[in-house]
Amino acid sequence: MKLVILDRDGVINYDSPSYIKSPDEWKPIPGSLEAIARLNQAGYHVVVATNQSGVSRGLFEMAALNAINDKMHRALGQVGGRIDAIFFCPHAQDAGCNCRKPRPGLLEEIARRFNVNLKGVPSIGDGLRDLEASAAVGAEPILVLTGKGQKTRQEAALPPGTLIFADLAEAVKSLIK
């Protein structure tokens, strides 16, 4: 099975330091939806793994998160794309859960649900925690410079072998060739 794991905020859509709390605040990064459609057309299953601590912080309800994700699904459908599953961690950083990236729990759950080994699976994010979670399960860490990506590249020691691309569209071009 060909699989790609994507972070959501900063990779597919614009991020916000005050969180994406409503469908109105969710805005796709130009070219990201079409890039996901190209992955689908090339036979890839696309899965999202995202920290959403705004739920536990009380910044938005699960209904709002579902509405945001529904908007993303609809927007993808309009360009012929789809996301096969969304895995999210609703916990705050101090909760100590295993599902909050940089811990590998979300990605391990993806491996279980899809019955795949994640070794070498492209895993695309804009933050160090995305890359660290990817490396922890043997996935291929890919940094995009959208969202927090520029800051991550400048300020963090990236996992060995991390690939870097301007945005999701550029990363997908390299995967599909």
* Number of structural domains the chain divides into: 1
Task: Categorize the per-residue pLDDT at 2 as very low, low, confident or very high, splitting at 50, 70 and 90.
Answer: very high
The tokens for 33 are 């939806």
Nearest to 150 by CA among 164, 170, 168: 164
∠ CA 80-70-112, nearest 5°, is: 85
> What is the Cα–Cα distance from 38 to 168, expressed in whole angstroms?
11
- On whether the CB atoms of residues 19 and 10 are closer than 8 A, the answer is no
Task: Categorize the per-residue pLDDT at 177 as very low, low, confident or very high, splitting at 50, 70 and 90.
Answer: confident
β-bridge partners, 49: 87
pLDDT confidence of residue 94 = 87
The per-residue pLDDT of the chain, averaged, comes to 96
pLDDT confidence of residue 12 = 98
Q: State pLDDT tens for residues 36-59.
A: 999 999 999 999 999 999 898 889
Backbone torsions φ then ψ of 67, nearest 5 degrees: -65, -40
Hey, which residues are catalytic here? 7, 9
Q: State pLDDT tens for residues 73-119.
A: 999 999 999 999 999 999 988 888 999 999 999 999 999 999 999 99
The residue segments making up the domain with residue 83 are 2-176
User: Residue range 144-159: average pLDDT?
Assistant: 96
Global confidence as pTM: 0.97
Q: What is the CATH number of the domain that holds 125?
A: 3.40.50.1000
